[in-house]
Amino acid sequence: MTRLVLDGLQFAYPGGKSVLHGISAVADSPAVIGIVGPNGAGKSTLLDLIAGQRIPRAGQCTLGGQAIHQMPRDALCRQIAHVPQLVPADVPLTVEEVILTGRLPYGRGLFEQEEDHAAMEQAILRTRLTAFRGRPFGALSGGEKQRVLLAAAVCQGAPIVLLDEPSAHLDPENEAAMWELFRELQQSGHLVIVVTHHLGLAAQHCDRIWLLEQGRLAADAVPCDALEPARLERVFRVPFHWHQSAEGRVFLTYGR
C-alpha cells in the first residue's frame, strides 16, 4: 500500500488555541489503527487532516510523498475513503444510491458502469444491508445510516479507510460485525484508521493504537503497550486494569 506519513503535524482553528502539536507517525502496511484519547484530545481533527479536509498549520501529512491537502480531489478519493462522525439527515436518496456515491471518484460519464454496480453489490453484502437496499436513507435509524455510510466507503474501493466514531449508534451485534469487517479489509490489503472511545474493543481488534493526549501523540504502539494502565490513568484520570479470563482472553476495564 502507499506510505502514509504524518510529519510534525500542527493545527489550530481560526481564532483558537492549537489543537495538535507535532504529531508524527507512519503507516506503510495494511493494519487496523485505533485513534483514542479523551474528549478534546484532537482525534477528529487528526482524522480530518489525513482525509485532506483541513490544512495543517505546520508539518505535513503525505501519501506516497505527496501532500494530501494538495492532491486533486478525485485522485485523493481513489486513495482515501472518509466516514465522518456526523450522519447527514436530509439526503433524498435510497440506500443503494447513497452507497453508489462511493463510486463518484471513478466517474466516466453520466451513468454508473458495470464495475460500479458490482462494487455496490459487494459492499451491500459485506455490510449486511440487503434488506435495506431500496429504502429511503432518511427513513433509517442512526445506526442504520452509519452502516450505509460504511458501505459507501467500502464501495469506494480506496486502500485507506478513515472512520470517526463509526459505532456511535450501533447495537452490539452490528458493532461486532463492523470490527470483523475492519479485519477483513486489513486482510485484503487495506489500512483502516478508526477513531473510537471504546478502548476495550480497540485493545481487542486493533493492530496499533495512536493515543492522543492534549493534542500530542502519547503512544504509538501495539495495544498492550500503548494502553498500559499507568499511562491510561494519567491520560484519562481514572484507573485502568487489564484482566485475563479463564480461557486466556485479555480485556481492559476502568474505574475503581
Domain boundaries, the chain: 1-79+161-256, 88-157
Q: Quick one: pLDDT at residue 112? A: 74
Q: What is the mean pLDDT of the chain?
A: 92
Residue carrying C-alpha cell 486466556: 248
Share above pLDDT 70 across residues of the chain, in percent, rounded to a whole number: 98
Share above pLDDT 90 across residues of the chain, in percent, rounded to a whole number: 78
- For the ranges 15-19, 178-182, 240-244, 245-249, which has the lowest average pLDDT? 245-249
Q: Which ranges of the chain would DSSP assign to H, the alpha helix?
A: 43-50, 73-77, 95-100, 114-126, 142-156, 172-187, 199-205, 223-226, 229-236
Q: What is the mean pLDDT of residues 200-222?
A: 96
What spatial distance separates the first Cα and last Cα of the chain, rounded to whole Å?
43
Band of pLDDT at residue 111, cut at 50, 70 and 90: low
Distance CA 217, CA 25 (A): 9
Q: Quick one: pLDDT at residue 108? A: 67
Q: Quick one: pLDDT at residue 239? A: 94
Residue 49 above 80 pLDDT? yes
Cβ-based burial of 203 (10 A; exposed 0-12, middle 13-18, buried ≥19):
buried
Band of pLDDT at residue 181, cut at 50, 70 and 90: very high
Closest CA to 10 of 45, 62, 52, 38: 45
C-alpha cell at 7: 510529519
Indicate the SS3 state at residue 240. strand
Stated as kind and residue range, the H or E segment containing 12 is strand 4-12
Residue 109 above 60 pLDDT? no
The model scores a pTM over 0.85: yes
Q: What is the Cα 8 distance to its own chain's centre? A: 21
Distance CA 143, CA 168 (A): 8
Decide if domain 1-79+161-256 falls under CATH 3.40.640.10. no
Closest CA to 67 of 197, 148, 99, 58: 58
Q: What is the pLDDT of residues 154-173, one digit of tens each?
A: 999 999 999 999 988 888 99
Q: What is the pLDDT of residues 112-160, one digit of tens each?
A: 788 999 999 999 999 999 999 999 999 999 889 999 999 999 999 999 9
Band of pLDDT at residue 87, cut at 50, 70 and 90: confident
Residue 15 above 80 pLDDT? yes
Q: What are phi and psi of 14, to 5 degrees?
A: -55, 130
